[in-house]
Amino acid sequence: MRVTTAAAALFLLLVGGCARPDAGSPAPGRSGPPAPGRSGPPAPEVHQRWESCEVAAPASADDWFGAGRDALGLPLLDDRFQAVAAVVCRVEPREKPGVGTEITAEELRADDVTALLTTLRLPDEAATAEACTEELPLVPWLALIDRDGRWIRPGIPVDSCHKPRTEFRQAFGNLTTTLVTSRVLPGS
């Protein structure tokens, strides 16, 4: 009987841990409250002229992980801004033989952004995941540029676990980029 009771308790624990969360509580594996809807302006803010990552997204050696996470809450892209290119600002550790690890700030540009733009126009998925994992895939610091040199930071659509949607991650991973600038950050 003891084995049956233990098995029943384990079964209830497992079923309870996988049950759909109440509307007011986070999904298992998700820290904090459920992802709220996007608030703020209905469209991304348009800046007049792109200068550089160094100006738009100042970086330090401490910023190399998660600098773009705020894009998960920025307004999503709509049809009003007609982007012709994307700029990725990133900070990464690099191994340098004989020296060790140094942190570099890089600006990359992509000119074929059709697939990326399609995914940036996707809506957020409803927060209905029964279970979510704790890891957060890389969220890039991304800017879109139009033919007049104006730029925006678009919101990145999220899945039911409030992570970048798979379609976006695939399109971003398939971008062909050109290195514009690279510099070693002080303190690395």
pLDDT digits 0-9 by tens, 32-46: 333 346 766 788 899
pLDDT: is 120 or 7 the higher one?
120
Buried residues in 40-60 as b, exposed as e (16+ CB within 10 A):
eeebbeeeeebeebeebbebe
pLDDT digits 0-9 by tens, 78-128: 999 999 999 999 988 888 888 888 888 999 999 999 999 999 999 999 987
Cβ 142 vs Cβ 83: under 8 Å:
no
pLDDT digits 0-9 by tens, 58-67: 777 666 566 7
- Indicate the Cα dihedral angle 173, 70, 45, 79, nearest 10°: 40
With H, G, I as helix, E, B as strand and everything else as coil, classify residue 94: strand
Residue 47: the pLDDT is 95
Measured distance between the N- and C-terminal CA atoms of the chain, rounded to whole angstroms = 61
Q: Please list, in sequence order, all residues whose beta carbon lies within 8 angstroms of the beta carbon of residue 28, skipping any fewer than 6 positions away.
A: 17, 18, 21, 130, 131, 132
Strand boundaries in the chain, DSSP class E: 83-96, 100-110, 141-146, 151-152, 178-184
What is the average pLDDT score of the chain? 78
This prediction has a pTM of 0.75
